[in-house]
Amino acid sequence: MPQLRAPDGTSLHFEAYEPPERTPRSAVLFLPGWSDHAGRWTYVGERLRQAGVAAYLLDVRGQGRSGGRRGHLSRFSQLLADLQAFRRVVRLRTNAPQVLLGHSFGALVALRYLESQPSDVIAAAVLASPWLGLAVPPPRWKLTLGRVLPDVWPTLTLSTGIEPDHLSRDPTVGAAYEADPLVHQVMTTGAWREIQWAQRVVSADADRIESPLLFLLAGEDRVVDAQLARAFADSLKSEVQVRWYPEMYHEILLDPRAEEAMDDMLQFLRGRGL
């Protein structure tokens, strides 16, 4: 299985879907959500490969087969350094223009990267159900622990509270998620603090983004706040397109009608020669 070393030595796992015997038009670097991993997104990798696009799906540190404490983040900036290292590894495999595809938490990482690395050209980015805020606020006790404990016990682990049947209209997706041994469904208080920080600065630094963006948003998202993501997209000064899927749940690209969203994404990429 392909792996790379993060700048701090952490081993990161990724999966590669490369078109056979032809040069890909572009290379899509996919970042999954929290408590998620590349193996759940085989459909996306295969569909991109069939379209002549190389796809590289990363297990973010602390998730899936990658190293790091499960469900923990010491600093959000580590993820940006990991993505930079991932980009270098992909460049060794193909010189095709690079595109970011982030889902949920992965979309938050992608957005912050775009704000932090404006001179390191990303040809385009696709943000599926970006986690800029939760659909339903956490219980008051969790919010209290999130404020009090990160400084004294940043590795305290709490349940994410994600309901598997909120992910997709396809019940088999939720059942597989619940049974998946690589899905840990936890988050530390330190990780929660870092994610909240990232959500604030992503909104504050939105005018730094220069790459063309496509937002894929679910009208029935019960995990993240889709309306907040839509307002964020509308506020951007860069080239932005928004696709709104009224009946879909959080995992748009694992919906029974995921092909519709995939077609929208591929049309967006082809419109830019990607």
Q: Note the pLDDT tens digit of each residue in 59-88.
A: 999 999 999 999 999 999 999 999 999 999
Determine the Cα–Cα distance for residues 17 and 54; give it in Å rounded to an integer.
6
Q: What is the model's pLDDT at position 143?
A: 67
pLDDT digits (tens, 9 = 90+) for 198-210: 999 999 999 999 9
pLDDT(118) > 90: no
Confidence of residue 149 (pLDDT cuts 50, 70, 90): low
Residue 141 has pLDDT above 70, yes or no: no
Alpha carbon distance 103, 212 (integer Å): 17
Specify the DSSP class assigned to residue 115. Answer: H
Integer angstrom CA distances of residue 209 from 119, 123, 125, 198: 10, 12, 10, 15
CA pair distance 171, 32, nearest whole angstrom: 20
- Domains by residue range for the chain, with CATH: 3-270 (3.40.50.1820)
User: Is residue 136 scored above 90 in pLDDT?
Assistant: no
Q: What is the rounded CA–CA span in Å between residue 251 and residue 88?
A: 28
Mean pLDDT of the chain: 94
How is 45-96 classified by DSSP, letter by letter? HHHHHHTT-EEEEE--TTSTTS-SSTT--S-THHHHHHHHHHHHHHHHH--S
Q: Which residue has the higher pLDDT, 227 or 152?
A: 227
- Calculate what percentage of the chain has a pLDDT beyond 70: 95
pLDDT category, 148, cuts 50, 70, 90? Answer: low
Q: What is the dihedral of CA 207, 103, 15, 82, to 10 degrees?
A: 40
φ/ψ of 106, rounded to 5, equals -60, -35
Say if residues 251 and 129 touch (Cβ distance below 8 Å).
Answer: yes
Distance CA 73, CA 190 (A): 6
Tell which wins on pLDDT, 101 or 1: 101
